[in-house]
């Protein structure tokens, strides 16, 4: 028997203002689009902004549905939209902001498991890491240099 140890690392910024200017702009777009979330059931709003290698920014917010799990998370809305509109563009950076209508979120909130798998699929497809920045409503922002920090043992087409 062998013990396998997996380590990940993140960079923590104290606030949005501490981020590089281009990421501040991207995060502000994620915060703004978060307001467009359709979240009547969870009362949990998420916004995502993707910066593509062609300079375009693609936005997404979570969209819920009474027939769970028919809704989609903000990250997947943005990723799938970028794949549909700009199929050859690479995702360079992703900014995510989450807020609750019922309590203040002040700790960084990472993508859910389904979104991690989707981000992993696109990172694998483009063979380029995606920088991921995530936060709550306010407070610290975490940066991951790749989805591999959030999903170190990913499942991809090589297993099929």
Q: Which long-range contacts (CB under 8 A, 24 or more apart) does 122-128 make?
A: 122/79, 122/83, 122/91, 123/91, 123/147, 123/148, 124/154, 124/156, 124/157, 126/90, 126/91, 128/90, 128/92
- Residue 135 carries which DSSP code? E
Q: Which residues are catalytic?
A: 75
**Domains in the chain and their CATH numbers?**
12-151 (3.40.140.10)
Q: Are strands 11-13 and 91-100 parallel, antiparallel or unpaired?
A: unpaired
pLDDT in tens, the chain (160 residues): 999 999 999 999 999 999 999 999 999 999 999 999 999 999 999 999 999 999 999 999 999 999 988 899 999 999 999 999 999 999 999 999 999 999 999 999 999 999 999 999 999 999 999 999 999 999 999 999 999 999 998 888 888 8
pLDDT of residue 69: 81
pLDDT of residue 159: 87
Q: Which two tokens stand for residue 69?
A: 């799990």
């Amino acid at each position: 028997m062998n013990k396998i140890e997996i380590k990940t690392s993140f960079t923590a910024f104290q606030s949005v203002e501490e981020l590089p200017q281009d990421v501040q702009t991207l995060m502000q777009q994620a915060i703004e689009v978060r307001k467009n979330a359709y979240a009547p059931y969870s009362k949990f709003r998420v916004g995502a902004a993707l910066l593509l290698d062609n300079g375009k920014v693609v936005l997404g917010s979570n969209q819920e549905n009474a027939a769970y799990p028919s809704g989609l998370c903000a990250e997947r809305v943005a990723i799938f939209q970028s794949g549909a509109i700009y199929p050859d563009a690479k995702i360079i950076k992703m900014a995510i902001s989450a807020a609750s209508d019922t309590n203040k979120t002040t700790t960084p909130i990472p993508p859910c498991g389904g979104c991690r798998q989707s981000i992993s699929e696109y990172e694998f497809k483009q063979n380029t890491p995606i920088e991921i920045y995530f936060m709550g409503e306010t407070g610290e922002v975490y940066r991951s240099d790749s989805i591999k920090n959030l999903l170190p043992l990913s499942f991809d087409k090589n297993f099929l």
